Structure 1
Amino acid sequence: MLTPFGKFCRKLRIDRNEILKDMASKLGVTVSYLSAVEHGKRPIPNEWETSIPLLYQFDDIQRWELKESVIETENLIAFNLNETGENNQVLLKALARKSEDISEEQLKKVFDILK
């Protein structure tokens, strides 16, 4: 699944008639590294917030959209459910669904169990 940053980059490439390899080359990384960043498997390098706008000659709106995609991506926590057992999948999904409804006391109990 693509992160918001990954979606931003994909749209950028489509708009510029580029492929993943073209962008990776411009950024000085491998295709697999760029793909891992876009899928949230690697963090977004800090310098990309400066280098991408320069490489692609962004206007202020595009700079803002890039920044927003970085912020949204950094606020995500991703789990590969294919790499965990069924009970873990059920637990992770339940926590995600109920995360806003869990009280501080309940969170403390969960943390105590996990210690």
Structure 2
Amino acid sequence: MKTTLGAFLRKLRLQRGEKLKEMAENLNVSSAFLSAVENGKKKMPASWYEKLANLYNLSAKQQEELENAVIESGETVELKIKDIPSGNRELAVCFARHFDSLDEEASKEIFAILKRKEEEK
């Protein structure tokens, strides 16, 4: 099964002229494990974010693309809410609780709000 993450990793590897074995060695994993990640059979270790960014000198855009690929390829999204304001914590919990029941219109509205915030940065 090809995933967005797998496509990102494969593209990155090929742009650098690396074979699967070479990228696996750079990430200190077996070729079989990297292949399984590329094919969506294994989850990418969280430690790879920083490793990939440093090893391959990823731009901010590429790092965002990597993060989005991981999210799109996964079944869950993890939010760390420990050190955020209580209002934002409540929002995150409420959103998670109602996520499955959001209709298309509500999803579009929320997405538009978040996109505007992103563009303000």
TM-score range, shorter chain: 0.5 to 0.7
* Structure-1 residue corresponding to 2:50: 50
* Structure-2 residue corresponding to 1:27: 27
Aligned positions, number: 77
- Structure 1, unaligned stretches of length 5 or more? 77-99, 101-115
- Structure 2, unaligned stretches of length 5 or more? 77-99, 101-121
| % same residue | 43
Q: RMSD of aligned C-alpha atoms?
A: 1.6
* Structure-1 residue corresponding to 2:18: 18
Deviating above 2 A after TM superposition, structure 1's stretches of 4 or more consecutive aligned residues are none
Mapping 1:85-100, distance limit 5 Å: none
Structure 2 CA distance for aligned equivalents of residues 75 and 60 of structure 1: 24
Q: TM-score, normalised by structure 2?
A: 0.60
**What displacement does 1:26 show?**
0.3
Aligned partner of 2:2: which letter?
A: L
Q: TM-score, normalised by structure 1?
A: 0.63
Question: Residues 32-82 of structure 1: CA distance to partner in whole angstroms, max 9, x if unpaired?
Answer: 010111112111101111111111011101111111111111138xxxxxx
Structure 2 CA distance for aligned equivalents of residues 43 and 13 of structure 1: 18
Select the structure of larger CA radius of gyration.
1
Secondary structure of 2:29's partner? coil
Aligned partner of 1:64: which letter?
A: E
